């Protein structure tokens, strides 16, 4: 069973074409996904390399000299860095081998489909031509047959009327004979044609068609063989179990095995060895009894009529306390450790501390009891000696009621456990938080990078400074929320989802519901959950548990207690997500109008975009899109983002103030004075900015003179990123609303497919605007007319005085096939060279 015998029908032919289309689409999908994989693997490898560099920067390295753990850690970091390099090598191999192979296979697959379709069309035309020839000849046969019948009937009619002679009869006979001859000739031709077309049809059906299908099957199977090779290469270059990776893993394991707890502190002990601690000596200060006329003597217990009752009562108290202490030591009340973690039990000093406390208390009480008893026994009947010698220089461990052997054993046990404590390493639950810097004025600021700094107290870092909030708030529940780094103001839900990515991440924000402002706690827990802070009649705040006078204290309690926000949700707060460094406070600006403002901190004039409070959430999300993109870019030809104000309405995007206004307005106002050199420099600035965006995989989608700004010294800056997307390819799914038709590439208009090469097309229009000094592209044409003419091959002529090289570059930017257009790196090189040549 094969193509040649099973796929000869028209429906099979259509199914085969559909299968070829599906395979071509699959190749496109594979190429796109592998390209993304290459990008992701490279970014992953770069990130790993960066973190290994950070991991090798060990703070207070001089205090860790000789540490086996440090050496093991460095070896592990080196191994991880080697892993990153291998991952990058595999990504390079996928791009150079697999993606290239898929691209070649894709082109060959499309070409084979085209050839098959052409051959199948030709074959169908041949069958149709045979059918048409037979049909024409049959129609001719039918006409001649009708003529023959007509002439015969006329001949017979005249023959009967006029007999066998007569001129009229001869004429009818001649016509009858002519019709008869023509019918016989047509008959013979029809017979011959049927024989011929039968042979042709037989050859086409039994020879050519099976041969065509057989060749197609061979081509398809060859494609599948190549395809299988591609899949094998994907598996090969995605394998993390190869010998190289295993060797790295073995080196890492060897580094770990080199850590020996017994030897870890050997060098440290040798370097910092000190003598055993000297005992503390408690000596009676003899200066105290100088003025007692010898009635009170150093180290002598005074027993007289003034103290005898007190001593007896004191003895009774001491004996009672001593008995209770001895009972507590014999029957200690400790929690069961049957199911406890051994590490936790080692770190738990409560038992040792309690044992030491009871032992010290027992010795202290026993010593005092012995001293008082000895004094009273020596007193005898009623004599009142001046005092009893009590030497305080001996150690309290020498108490007769406790043997030295037991004491040494107990102390030895305590010392052993204490040493074991310091050999235990445990992880800090807050090491994933960003650094918190407490400023002099008590406010809390977060650093945008770097690991968590060591906390100088036990209070978790994100809540330092909260303990004194209640004294400063004066009963205001959320007035000080602006000072909390985990409060994000009027942040939309989409931004919340972007920020909260790990189970237990949380932040606090503000929302408006039914024209009422509400404070919301958002938590990443089994998805994303949002809890409205409830207000009690007394003006306190709560969720389900206790109430608090401020929202700060409520959030602090909810986090530190580890209790669920609500019993139904089970959501537990683990890690506060602090405001990003580009989120500004709305009060940081003295806003004069909608478009211009001044920062309080540095008196800098800035440009401000505001978002109307009444806009729907979808519009607010699009408004914040520009800020999300701009916040990570830094280039002289890209307008700079200063910050975003989201703590209260209205939301604002704050950018650098570019004084020259839009490039389009600038071109039109200065059309009479702009020189060709200035036009070339404008093109160069725009290409430099777009080259930077292309390197960041950012598609602008709305590049035009109206969206470029002119700064100081006439520098051009790319602006208005409201339609931009940070991806290599973007497919529009919401129609073509608000699309600038005359600036948009054909593939984006026809298929909604955007890449950086679409921006190249728009850049060509921008160059045309610059050299036309603010002219209207496709002047006199509607959007639909311009679109139709572009698809038909029309391209705008060069504006007056445009250099030939620039117009050739425009035409290259306007190539219909995207892959034929230059990238911005090439465009920048061309424009820069021309700019220097026209100096």
User: Mind giving me the DSSP string for 787-829?
Assistant: HHHHHTT--PPPPTT--HHHHHHHHHHT-SSGGGSPPHHHHHH
Whether pLDDT at 624 is above 80: no
User: Mind giving me the DSSP string for 649-712?
Assistant: SSEEEEEE--TT-BHHHHHHHTTTT--HHHHHHHHHHHHHHHHHHHHTT-B-S--SGGGEEE-G
Grade residue 828 by pLDDT with cuts at 50, 70 and 90.
Answer: very high
Own/partner contacts of 453-461, CB < 8 Å, gap of 24 or more, are: 455/430, 460/430, 460/559, 460/560, 461/430, 461/433, 461/436
Q: What is the pLDDT of residue 346?
A: 64
- Kindly report, residue by residue over 794-826, the tens digit of the pLDDT: 999 999 999 999 999 999 999 999 999 999 999
Enumerate domains of the chain plus CATH numbers. Answer: 11-55+66-236 (1.20.1270.60), 292-422 (no CATH), 436-452+459-581 (3.30.505.10), 586-656 (3.30.200.20), 663-837 (1.10.510.10)
Q: Which helix (H) or strand (E) holds 142?
A: helix 100-162
- The whole-number average pLDDT for the span 346-362 is 82
d(CA 552, CA 469): 8
How many CB atoms lie under 10 A from the CB of residue 49? Answer: 17
Q: Is 702 a catalytic residue?
A: yes
Q: What is the pLDDT of residue 725?
A: 64
Contact assessment for residue 7 and residue 116, using Cβ atoms and an 8 Å cutoff = no
- Kindly report, residue by residue over 258-292, the tens digit of the pLDDT: 888 888 878 877 777 777 767 777 788 777 877 67
Lowest mean pLDDT segment, chosen from 400-404, 652-656, 761-765: 400-404
What are the residues whose beta carbons fall under 8 Å from the beta carbon of 533, sequence distance 6 or more? Answer: 518, 519, 520, 521, 541, 542, 543, 551, 554
Half-sphere exposure of 281 (CA within 13 A, CB side): 6
Whether pLDDT at 437 is above 60: no
Tokens of 51: 């973190």
Whether pLDDT at 101 is above 80: yes
- The whole-number average pLDDT for the span 750-763 is 91
d(CA 228, CA 221): 10
Q: What is the pLDDT of residue 386?
A: 37
Contact assessment for residue 604 and residue 659, using Cβ atoms and an 8 Å cutoff = no
How many CB atoms lie under 10 A from the CB of residue 333? Answer: 6
d(CA 124, CA 14): 13
Whether pLDDT at 371 is above 50: yes
> Which stretches of 520-616 are DSSP H helices?
551-561
Whether pLDDT at 56 is above 50: yes
Which residues share a beta bridge with 437?
A: 445
- Kindly report, residue by residue over 155-186, the tens digit of the pLDDT: 888 887 766 667 888 888 899 999 999 999 99
d(CA 276, CA 472): 50
Half-sphere exposure of 447 (CA within 13 A, CB side): 14
How many CB atoms lie under 10 A from the CB of residue 658? Answer: 19
- Kindly report, residue by residue over 577-616, the tens digit of the pLDDT: 987 655 455 544 433 334 577 777 777 888 888 877 777 7
Whether pLDDT at 28 is above 90: yes
Active-site entry in 588, 702, 720, 759: 702
Write the burial class of residue 656 (CB in 10 Å: 0-12 exposed, 13-18 middle, 19+ buried): middle
Contact assessment for residue 122 and residue 37, using Cβ atoms and an 8 Å cutoff = no
Tokens of 810: 């425009």
Contact assessment for residue 41 and residue 88, using Cβ atoms and an 8 Å cutoff = yes
Q: What is the pLDDT of residue 465?
A: 34
d(CA 830, CA 687): 10
Contact assessment for residue 175 and residue 139, using Cβ atoms and an 8 Å cutoff = no
Residue with structure tokens 């190549």?
226
What are the binding residues for ATP? 609
Q: What is the pLDDT of residue 299?
A: 75
Lowest mean pLDDT segment, chosen from 135-144, 329-338, 534-543: 329-338
Contact assessment for residue 811 and residue 761, using Cβ atoms and an 8 Å cutoff = no
Q: What is the pLDDT of residue 545?
A: 87
Q: What is the pLDDT of residue 404?
A: 36
d(CA 459, CA 556): 10
Whether pLDDT at 407 is above 50: no
Whether pLDDT at 505 is above 90: yes
Lowest mean pLDDT segment, chosen from 185-199, 435-449, 509-523, 638-652: 435-449
Tokens of 456: 């100088």
Contact assessment for residue 693 and residue 718, using Cβ atoms and an 8 Å cutoff = yes
Whether pLDDT at 415 is above 60: no
Grade residue 724 by pLDDT with cuts at 50, 70 and 90.
Answer: low
Whether pLDDT at 58 is above 80: yes
What is the overall mean pLDDT for the chain?
A: 79
Grade residue 383 by pLDDT with cuts at 50, 70 and 90.
Answer: very low
Q: What is the pLDDT of residue 506?
A: 95
Lowest mean pLDDT segment, chosen from 10-19, 498-507, 534-543, 728-737: 728-737
- Torsion region of 438: left, alpha or beta (phi above 0 gives left; psi -120 to 50 gives alpha): beta
Query: Minimal CA–CA distance to 481: which of 550, 580, 574?
Result: 550
- Kindly report, residue by residue over 311-338, the tens digit of the pLDDT: 888 889 999 999 888 888 888 776 555 5
Own/partner contacts of 227-232, CB < 8 Å, gap of 24 or more, are: 227/105, 229/101, 230/30, 230/98, 230/101, 230/102, 230/105
d(CA 666, CA 709): 9
Q: What is the pLDDT of residue 355?
A: 85
What are the residues whose beta carbons fall under 8 Å from the beta carbon of 728, sequence distance 6 or more? Answer: 35, 36, 39, 697, 755, 756
Lowest mean pLDDT segment, chosen from 174-188, 279-293, 372-386, 672-686: 372-386
Lowest mean pLDDT segment, chosen from 41-55, 420-434, 610-624: 420-434
Whether pLDDT at 720 is above 90: no
Whether pLDDT at 484 is above 90: no
How many CB atoms lie under 10 A from the CB of residue 380? Answer: 9
Whether pLDDT at 86 is above 90: yes
Tokens of 402: 């406790």
Grade residue 430 by pLDDT with cuts at 50, 70 and 90.
Answer: very low
Q: What is the pLDDT of residue 450?
A: 35
What are the binding residues? 609
């Amino acid at each position: 069973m094969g193509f040649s015998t099973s796929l000869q029908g028209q429906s099979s032919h259509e199914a085969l074409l559909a299968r070829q289309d599906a395979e071509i689409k699959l190749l496109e999908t594979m190429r796109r996904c592998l390209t993304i994989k290459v990008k992701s693997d490279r970014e992953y490898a770069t990130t790993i390399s960066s973190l290994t560099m950070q991991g090798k920067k060990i703070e207070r390295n001089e205090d860790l000299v000789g540490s086996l753990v440090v050496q093991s850690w460095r070896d592990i970091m080196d191994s991880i860095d080697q892993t990153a390099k291998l991952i990058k090598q595999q990504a390079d191999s996928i791009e150079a081998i697999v993606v290239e192979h898929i691209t070649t296979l894709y082109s060959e697959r499309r070409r084979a489909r085209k050839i098959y379709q052409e051959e199948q069309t030709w074959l169908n035309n041949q069958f149709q031509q045979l059918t048409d020839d037979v049909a024409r000849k049959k129609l001719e046969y039918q006409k001649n047959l009708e003529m023959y019948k007509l002439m015969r009937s006329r001949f017979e009619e005249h023959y009967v009327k006029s007999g066998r002679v007569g001129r009229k009869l001869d004429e009818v006979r001649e016509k009858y004979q002519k019709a008869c001859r023509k019918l016989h000739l047509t008959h013979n031709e029809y017979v011959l044609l049927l024989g011929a077309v039968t042979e042709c049809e037989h050859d086409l059906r039994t020879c050519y068609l099976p041969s065509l299908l057989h060749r197609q099957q061979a081509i398809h199977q060859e494609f599948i063989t190549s395809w299988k090779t591609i899949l094998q290469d994907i598996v090969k270059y995605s394998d993390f179990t190869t010998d190289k990776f295993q060797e790295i893993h073995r080196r890492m394991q060897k580094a770990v095995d080199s850590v020996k707890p017994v030897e870890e502190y050997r060098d440290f002990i040798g370097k910092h060895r000190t003598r055993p601690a000297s005992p503390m000596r408690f000596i009676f200060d003899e200066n105290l009894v100088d003025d007692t006329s010898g009635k009170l003597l150093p180290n002598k217990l005074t027993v007289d009529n003034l103290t005898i009752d007190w001593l007896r009562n004191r003895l009774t108290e001491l004996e009672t306390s001593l008995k209770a202490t001895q009972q507590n030591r014999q029957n200690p009340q400790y929690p069961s450790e049957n199911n406890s973690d051994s590490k936790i039990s080692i770190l738990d000093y409560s038992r040792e501390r309690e044992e030491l406390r009871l032992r010290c208390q027992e010795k202290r009480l026993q010593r005092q009891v012995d001293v008082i008893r000895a004094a009273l026994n020596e007193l005898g009947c009623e004599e009142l000696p001046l005092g009893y010698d009590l030497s305080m220089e001996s150690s309290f461990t020498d108490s007769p009621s406790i043997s030295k052997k037991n004491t040494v054993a107990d102390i030895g046990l305590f010392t052993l456990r204490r040493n074991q404590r310091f050999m235990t390493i445990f992880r800090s639950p807050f090491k994933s938080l960003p650094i918190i810097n407490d400023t002099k004025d008590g406010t809390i600021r977060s650093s945008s990078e770097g690991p968590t700094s060591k906390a100088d107290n036990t209070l978790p870092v994100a809540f330092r400074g909260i303990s004194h909030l209640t004294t400063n708030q004066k009963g205001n529940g959320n007035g000080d929320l602006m000072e909390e780094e985990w409060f994000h103001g009027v942040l939309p839900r989409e931004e919340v989802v972007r920020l909260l990515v790990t189970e237990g991440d949380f932040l606090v924000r503000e929302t408006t519901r039914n024209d009422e402002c509400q404070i919301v706690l958002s938590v990443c827990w089994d998805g994303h959950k949002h809890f409205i802070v409830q207000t009690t009649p007394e003006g306190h705040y709560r969720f389900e548990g206790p109430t608090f006078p401020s929202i700060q204290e409520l959030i602090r309690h909810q986090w530190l207690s580890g209790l669920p926000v609500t019993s139904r949700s089970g959501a537990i707060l683990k890690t506060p997500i602090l405001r990003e460094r580009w989120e500004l406070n709305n009060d940081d600006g003295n806003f004069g109008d909608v478009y211009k403002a001044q920062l309080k901190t540095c008196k800098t004039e800035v440009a401000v975009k505001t978002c109307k409070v009444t806009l729907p959430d979808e519009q607010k999300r699009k408004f914040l899109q520009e800020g999300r993109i701009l916040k990570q870019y830094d280039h002289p030809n890209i307008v700079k983002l200063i910050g975003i104000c989201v703590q209260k309405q209205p939301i604002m995007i704050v950018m650098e103030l570019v004084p020259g206004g839009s490039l389009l307005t600038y071109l039109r106002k200065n059309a009479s004075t702009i020189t060709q050199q200035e036009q070339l420099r404008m093109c160069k600035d725009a290409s430099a900015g777009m080259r930077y965006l292309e390197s960041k995989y950012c598609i602008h989608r709305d590049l035009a003179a109206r969206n470029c700004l002119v700064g100081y010294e006439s520098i051009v800056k790319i602006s208005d990123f409201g339609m931009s997307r940070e991806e290599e390819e973007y497919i529009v799914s919401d129609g073509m609303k608000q699309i600038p038709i005359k600036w948009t590439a054909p593939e984006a208009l026809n298929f909604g497919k955007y890449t950086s090469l679409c921006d190249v097309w728009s850049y060509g229009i921008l160059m045309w605007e610059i050299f036309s000094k603010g002219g209207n592209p496709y002047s006199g044409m509607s959007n639909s007319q311009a679109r139709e003419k572009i698809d038909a091959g029309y391209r705008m002529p060069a504006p007056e005085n445009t250099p030939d090289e620039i117009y050739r570059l425009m035409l290259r930017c306007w190539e219909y096939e995207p892959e034929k257009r230059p990238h911005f790196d090439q465009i920048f090189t061309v424009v820069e060279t021309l700019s220097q040549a026209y100096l």
